[in-house]
A and B are shown apart, each in its own frame.
Chain A
């Protein structure tokens, strides 16, 4: 049976992992590679790296970073942040990333999704959506949570899957860093509307939050950053709680004698 995935997210700036609360106020929490190894050993099913202030000048740094991570890791990893062209997506995939996550640039020019999926396959093309609650539902916000677009999240999710996005990473800005738990309504609305896997993100503070996510929504994966960074909770703790409540998870790896 397909296991629900637990995905630590590392927000990266200049090769350092940083933490954000509602996308503001960042501070270094350690070297990305070291954390990646720890998560790998702890049973993370996958890793996501988001370059939170990626700019054109820094793209070399991002590609080199992806290559360094690829050398250390034998589990899948996704790189996102500032990916505005299919060429840069291709560079990251060649450097060893398994998937790239596009966000703001895809909202500005949706054909980016079709280009990335067309060249590298839908399985390599993740659409990351930053969402906030609005009067009528959920609204897409871009540029690191700064620019509201007026677009409906569910409509955008459906359009993006039609263009070739193979997976959706749905991040609640309202919950980001708040420890109030995942936005279950947001996750359910998107997961019910599309046929590709949905990763929920934003607000997780405890193993119980993951249990609620998988019991109450059709999410395929749960992503969290700060609780794992600071060791408040381990991936192993989350999986133990999930297994105890009957959710299929991948057990910690068997070590051969």
Chain B
């Protein structure tokens, strides 16, 4: 079973339906203790980083997700769920992220439109087993006003939006995507399918 970490933020039904469309069984999980039974975790999130982080910690998910990480359970962070993998965000400096990756999340600047809304093509800069069906230049759907500042060796993909912006970050058994794979048509379903097969 893939657990979709449900801390009350975001359109989780969409993620669940997309995983179901690629043949995976996914459940919304509100109780951190239940993450111990999960074969993989999806960490979603949408809207304000501070609100997401507060709710995530208030539900008590941080220790359970750290534990899953330590046990090598596959984890996929989506949008603000990807941003939560970092130390924190300037959107709310008082709220910590999980700190799996070094660096902070900063507001998009130097662009005519914020939020970035729409389909942008991802330039791959590294590889990962769950990206094997993603081709360089594939388009994905983005909706965000903040983005993690690029972090060297764990950056796996960028998009051009007033300069290169981090779109995919990852390492062994962990991947974060700034875009919404559940809303990115066939390209997104292929990525979710590869993730689900790792579970």
Q: Which residues of B contact A71 (CB under 8 A)?
A: 17
Q: Flag if A166 contacts B117 (CB, 8 Å).
A: yes
Known contacts A3-B119, A196-B113, A218-B112: A76-B13 contact under CB 8 Å: no
Q: How far is the CA of A70 from the CA of B180 in the complex (A)?
A: 15
Q: Flag if A123 contacts B46 (CB, 8 Å).
A: yes
User: Does A193 lie at the interface of the complex (its beta carbon under 8 Å from any beta carbon of B)?
Assistant: no
Contact with A along B54-76 (1 / 0, CB 8 A): 00000000000000000000000
Q: Flag if B183 contacts A76 (CB, 8 Å).
A: yes
Partner of B183, one of A98, A197, A251: A98
- Overall SS of chain B's interface: mixed
User: Does A74 lie at the interface of the complex (its beta carbon under 8 Å from any beta carbon of B)?
Assistant: yes
Q: Flag if B118 contacts A221 (CB, 8 Å).
A: yes
Q: Which residues of B contact A45 (CB under 8 A)?
A: 118-119
> Could you tell me the distance in whole angstroms from the C-beta of A221 to the nearest C-beta in chain B?
7
Task: Identify the closest chain A residue to B117 (Cβ).
Answer: A197
Task: Identify the closest chain B residue to A255 (Cβ).
Answer: B186
> Could you tell me the distance in whole angstroms from the C-beta of B197 to the nearest C-beta in chain A?
14
Q: Flag if A74 contacts B118 (CB, 8 Å).
A: no
Q: What is the number of residues of chain A that contact chain B, defined by CB distance less than 8 Å? A: 36
Interface of A toward B, CB cutoff 8 Å: 1-5, 40, 45, 70-71, 74-76, 93-96, 98, 120-124, 166-167, 195-197, 218, 220-221, 250-251, 253-256
Known contacts A70-B14, A96-B14, A123-B47: A2-B114 contact under CB 8 Å: no
Task: Identify the closest chain B residue to A117 (Cβ).
Answer: B47
Q: How far is the CA of A71 from the CA of B99 in the complex (A)?
A: 35
- Overall SS of chain A's interface: loop
Q: Which residues of B contact A253 (CB under 8 A)?
A: 185-187
Q: Flag if A75 contacts B47 (CB, 8 Å).
A: no
Task: Identify the closest chain B residue to A221 (Cβ).
Answer: B118
User: Can you name 30 A-B residue pairings with CB atoms under 8 Å?
Assistant: A2-B116, A2-B120, A2-B142, A4-B118, A5-B119, A40-B185, A45-B119, A70-B13, A71-B17, A74-B186, A75-B183, A75-B184, A75-B185, A94-B11, A96-B14, A96-B17, A98-B183, A121-B46, A121-B47, A121-B48, A123-B46, A167-B117, A195-B112, A196-B114, A197-B115, A218-B112, A220-B113, A220-B117, A250-B121, A254-B135
Q: Flag if B117 contacts A75 (CB, 8 Å).
A: no
Known contacts A1-B160, A166-B117: A94-B13 contact under CB 8 Å: yes
Task: Identify the closest chain A residue to B113 (Cβ).
Answer: A197
Q: Which residues of A contact B13 (CB under 8 A)?
A: 70, 94-96
